[in-house]
Structure 1
Amino acid sequence: MTILKEKLSDFKEKFEQAQKLVDECKVDTLEPYKNHYKSKEILIDLEVKLEKTIEQTENEQDLLVFRAILGYVQKDIGKICSFVEETNQAKIYLNKSLELLEGNKNEPEIIICYVDTLNQLGILWSKLQDNEKSLEYLLKSEKAANSFKKFGKQPLTIFDIFGTSDEIEKGKGKECLEKNLTLTFFYLAQVYGAVSNLEASGLYCHLTLKRQLELEDYEPVEWALNAATLSQFYFAKNMLKQSRHLLAAANYMMGKYSDELEQKEMSEDQRAAAMENFKHRSADVDLCFAKYCIYILTTSIERLMQEKEESHKETDPIQFQINENCEKFNLDLSLYEREVVDDFVLTFEDAKEVFLAAQSYLNKAKEYYSLENEASQHARIVQDYAHIFKHLAFFEDEPGVQSKLHKRRADQLEEVLTQLNPTYYMNICRELMFELGLTYSDMLDIKCDLLKFNEVQPTALSKINTLCHKAINKFKEFENTYRDKKTGEIPDNLDVDELQVVACANFNLGRLYYKIITPDKKMQLENTSSSYKHYKTFIDYCEKHQTIAERMKGEYGVTKNMCELLPLKIKKLMDESKQ
């Protein structure tokens, strides 16, 4: 027994020495892996000593202890090799550890190292882009941990193994195994995401967050951001209750962290850095909440636009699994969940509540993402801001109020467009120009609809023509950003998605020129000719690019008819203008 204690004490000293080198590693630009290589040397030396000890040991319990320690040593060598990008060596050592531990995986001394080794192999194969193999190891890790827990045994940490039975730290082994299992879930979420199995990825993300809460093993800001990000997966699946629950939990956690931050002792620099991170991530959580609100409004409109409500689809197995396993967090979130509904809306009053919530979250996000500091993100927020006015207008019955809402939408977009330099923010400027063209077109449609039921007034005609020209100017500005400065032509080698938007701009231009109202025959001829030219350009894009034609079948059909009718009207106007 004395000899065993001496050996364990010697092994423990070497193991801790190696671990300390990695834990206290400082980045050296000349030798970035210096400490890791030193740690690896100590562990390899320890591996040799352990292998000799195992050859000389006959007692089964002692053998189990030495094998467990050797498994940890080989696993840690593998981790170091993976870190320093010695991939082949990492595979060798991790597999040696796995093979050594496999036969005793359900023993308390073995299970923690066994699960961690499987996790490390899962990570390694994920880095090597073999996600199927990565999943194989990670699922095996999950199964092993859950299987062990059924035996009711208490797992032992490496330091429990080094000590005597009296020195075992009660509960530490269980905590360590549970943390390793949480990491398994975390890695499974990443790898399932990499293979585009988003349902499984979402499930494991949720389980990871839940386990982190239960084990009190999380960093509040990171946890909140992960919860808010995951909410977007759920609302895209129309699982609004789950999505809102995650967002409420994120807000709860940020509020809790804010309170703790005020009481925490730290230097001025540390507090400034912590506050900057808190404000940044709070803005990101606010944006996630705003996206949730926008999704409710957008999808509510789509549902109302359908002729009849679709029948409920059968729930697929993984969807059912998400509903079954993703129980609510053990947090009092009632205050935060009351901020916004968790269902689609039907009336203006209900839509307005969601609109006001979205507006509040976007305003808070804009405080951090200002135009001066974060122009790109600020512009994206303004676009979202414009969208909520558009969505609210859909639920409004009064045309005058609809127009005012669209006017607010246009004002927001115009303001940010005038402040952005196209040289640096061309893509965003294009989006804003196109969105403004659509906004003025929406306002135009409202005015034209009113004209059908009211006596024609000169002021109404003037407003219609003004909106036509505003929309035309924005679509032309958009189109001109693509023109070659020398030739004035739009290159045909653009990405098909960009060509589609240019084609769409021409479709809108054709429609807008046709809507201009004037008694002047020459102006009618000019406008009708311009309408035909842009419709014809749209047709040319569709005929050159089948993808565009397939994506815009409705517009293509309408335009084909217009291109047959307009030449006849142009001829008639030409004849009339000669008289």
Structure 2
Amino acid sequence: MIVKEKLSDFKELFEQAQKLIEDVKADSYEPYKNHYQAREILEILEKEIEKAICQLENDQKEDKLILQAILGYVQKDIGKISMFVDETNVAESYFEKSLQLLEPEKHDTKTILCYVDVLNQFGILFSKLSDVEKSKKYLLNAEEAVNEFKELSKDPLTIFDIFGTEDEIEKGKGNESLEKIITLTYFYLAQVYGQLGDLETSAKYCHLTLKRQLELKDYDPIEWALNSATLSQFYFGKNMLKQSRHLLAASSFMIANYAADLEQKEMSEDQRAAENERLKHRTADIDLCFSKYCIYILKTSIQRLLQEEEEDSTSLALFQLNDSCEKFPLELDFYERQVTDTYILTFDDAKITFLNAQSYLNKAKEYYSLENEASQYARIIQDYASLYKHLAFFEDDASTQAKLHKRRADQLEAVKKELNPTFYMNICRELIFELGLTYSDMLDIKCDKLKFEEVNPYALNKINTLCHKSIEKFQEFINTYKDKKTNEIPKTLDIDDYQAIACAHFNLGRLFYKIITPDKRMQLEWTQKSLNDYKIFIDYCEQYKEVAERMKGEKGVTQSMIELLPHKIKKLMDEISQ
């Protein structure tokens, strides 16, 4: 057997290096000072172990395996330090040395923990180097190695178990370490699959990571809750509402329990203030996730009802996805009852979901105020506005519909007045465009109502007022893109911007044509403006094929109007000349 004193010396050096790494304090002049010192110690230890291995006799196989296992840890840690200080080539070299050393005995109780951790480190390294496929390969190898080891029904040993005698082995510690390491593997796989665009597999590993963290009691409650709520956004996007609601309920459960525990914890006033601030911040984020879930249910329920009316079986297939829910070991019934996990059919159900979403937004707005978080505050107001829009769909009474859209407009107008376009141009554009759509929706309600009522000057004036309000917003939206010197739209915008501008022109074409006036000359002017905007829309479709592809329906309507409007214009001109 290896001389106990030699192992004791190796352990002392190893612990000395670990202490330096763990006790790192930021130093603006030498930020990596402790890491470099730790690496120097580990490099000395590496040479000492290699020397000890060379001195072994051929029949000392067990001693050799012990030393190789320790050497694997040392090389892996040198690699981790090198990666931390951005010496990626050195890191890769040491990880490779450790991997080659451990590979032949990777399923041994002494080597499995280090072997899997090295594969994880390779996964992190290649992810940092943007070689995501290579990163995935190493992480999947780590998952496979753990599964194979578990089939052997053996207990892994930690590095400190290896340093000690059989009597000094800490029972259960090795299995606990293995479970934590493979949990990290799943966490990294979730990130890698996300980078590769395979969101379903990424979500699967995210959920598995959260579940394992619970089982191992190895998590930060606030971060766990936020990750659970964030993951819910993926699942409701796939119409897996039970899964999404379960994740949201789990996040609320975790936050509520942590808030109660926090009051009992002993800490300094500064620590408590910082932790309370973090709790408020993340609770607001979770409330926003809940509100997004409610808004999605309202929006998707409307899509379902519209598709059912059209009897479009192809589109309906979208909503028939499997919603199998792997549950967390938590008591979540109370929290799950807070929101529905089914689609909405009636106004009464829509109102309940509307009020739930409004409550979550109100709580989030207590943290994200206009004064300290203007961007997020504006997003919250946009969500308020969308709630009124969706609720109006379920309302049968036209007057009440119009009032809901009016509240939607008031919300958007109020926040737009508070934002400086110089600093918040993108959000201001969104608000302006949404206001154009809101006034247009109100216009459509008034026009539909007019079909069943006696025409009167008040109703006609209301229609024209809404037309002009909507026109004003869409023109303002287009003007935000124009170069101040040339008054032209730049040629360097993103395709999404060109699509939005084209859409604004399409709406302008439609709105100018809806203005009602008995004056033939004014009719001619509005009709000509309608034709001009429709032509500009077609110009964008011809110039940008992606815009044409995205707006096929609008393009078909526009082409029909471009054929119709010249005849309308000629007729008006003839009537005026007579």
Amino acid at match of 1:446: I
**Equivalent residue number for residue 430 of structure 1:** 429
- Which deviates further from its counterpart, 480-489 or 99-108? 480-489
Write the deviation string for residues 146-165 of structure 1: whole angstroms up to 9, x where unpaired: 22122222111111111111
Report deviation, 1:313. Answer: 5.6
Secondary structure, aligned partner of 1:380: helix
C-alpha distance in structure 2 between counterparts of 1:86 and 1:429, whole Å? 44
Q: Where do residues 43-122 of structure 1 align in structure 2 (5 Å cutoff)?
A: 43-58=42-57, 59-122=60-123
Number of matched residues? 573
| CA distance in 2: counterparts of 1:314 and 1:339, whole angstroms | 26
Once residues 512 and 547 of structure 2 are traced to their aligned partners in structure 1, the CA distance between those partners, rounded to angstroms, is 22
Change (3 A) 1:314 1:546: closer
Shift of 1:106: 1.7
- Residue 259 (structure 2) aligns with: 258
- In the alignment, what sits opposite 1:235? 236
Structure 1 distance, partners of 2:408, 2:20, is 59
Within 5 Å, give how 1:6-405 maps onto structure 2: 6-58=5-57, 59-306=60-307, 307-308=310-311, 310=313, 323=324, 327-405=326-404
1:171 is displaced (CA, Å) by 1.1
The residue type equivalent to 2:156 in the other structure is P
1:563 matched to 2:562? The reply is yes
- Structure 2: distance between partners of 1:486 and 1:138: 54
Deviation at 1:315, TM superposition (A): 12
Cα distance in 1 for partners of 2:123, 2:542 equals: 49
Q: State how 1:450-529 maps to structure 2 within 5 Å.
A: 450-529=449-528
Equivalent-residue separation in structure 1 for 2:94 and 2:526 (angstroms): 76
- After superposing the two structures, state which structure 1 stretch, 562-571 or 152-161, moved more: 562-571
Residues 79 and 93, structure 2, Cα contact 8 Å, conserved in 1: yes
Measure how far apart 1:119 and its partner are. Answer: 0.8
SS at match of 1:103: helix
Distance in structure 1 (CA, Å) of the matches to 2:525 and 2:89: 72
Q: What code does the residue aligned with 1:196 have?
A: G
Cα shift at 1:440 = 0.6
Shift of 1:297: 1.2
Q: 2: distance between equivalents of 1:443 and 1:377?
A: 27
How far off is 1:57 after superposition?
Answer: 2.3
- Alignment RMSD (CA, Å): 1.8
Distance 1:94 1:489 in 2: 56
User: In terms of mean alpha carbon deviation, does 235-244 or 259-268 score higher?
Assistant: 259-268
TM-aligned CA deviation for residue 430 of structure 1: 0.9
Match of residue 449 from structure 1:
448
Q: Report if aligned partners of 1:414, 1:436 keep a CA contact under 8 Å in 2.
A: yes
Residues 359, 457 of structure 1: CA spacing in aligned structure 2 closer, same or farther, 3 A cutoff?
same
- Deviation of 1:482 after TM superposition, in Å, equals 1.8
Shift of 1:241: 0.5
Query: Structure 2 counterpart of 1:308, which letter?
Result: E
**Any conservation in 2 of the 1:192–1:201 contact (CA below 8 Å)?**
yes
TM-score of the pair, normalised by structure 1 = 0.96
Structure 2 unaligned regions, length at least 5? none
Residues in 2 aligned to 1:486 and 1:396: alpha-carbon distance in whole angstroms: 47
Give distance in 1, aligned partners of 2:574 and 2:200.
Answer: 64
**Contact 2:190 2:205 (8 Å CA) reproduced:** yes
Question: How far 1:578 sits from its partner (Å)?
Answer: 3.6
The alpha carbon displacement at 1:495 in A equals 2.3
Q: Distance in 1 between matches of 2:380 and 2:524?
A: 42
Superposed displacement of residue 471, structure 1: 0.8
How many angstroms apart in 2 are the aligned matches of 1:314 and 1:532?
37
CA distance in 1, matches of 2:282, 2:319: 34
Residue deviations 1:454-506 (CA, integer Å, cap 9, x gap): 11122211111111111111111111212222333333443222122111111
Q: Secondary structure of the residue that 2:313 maps to in structure 1? A: coil
Give % identity: 69
- Paired AA for residue 28 in structure 1: D
Q: What's the counterpart of residue 572 of structure 2? A: 573
Output the amino acid matched with 1:60. K
Deviation at 1:522, TM superposition (A): 2.1
The equivalent residue for 2:547 is: 548
The answer to whether 1:411 aligns with 2:410 is: yes
Q: What secondary structure is seen at the aligned counterpart in 2 of 1:185?
A: helix
Aligned amino acid, residue 296 of structure 2: Y
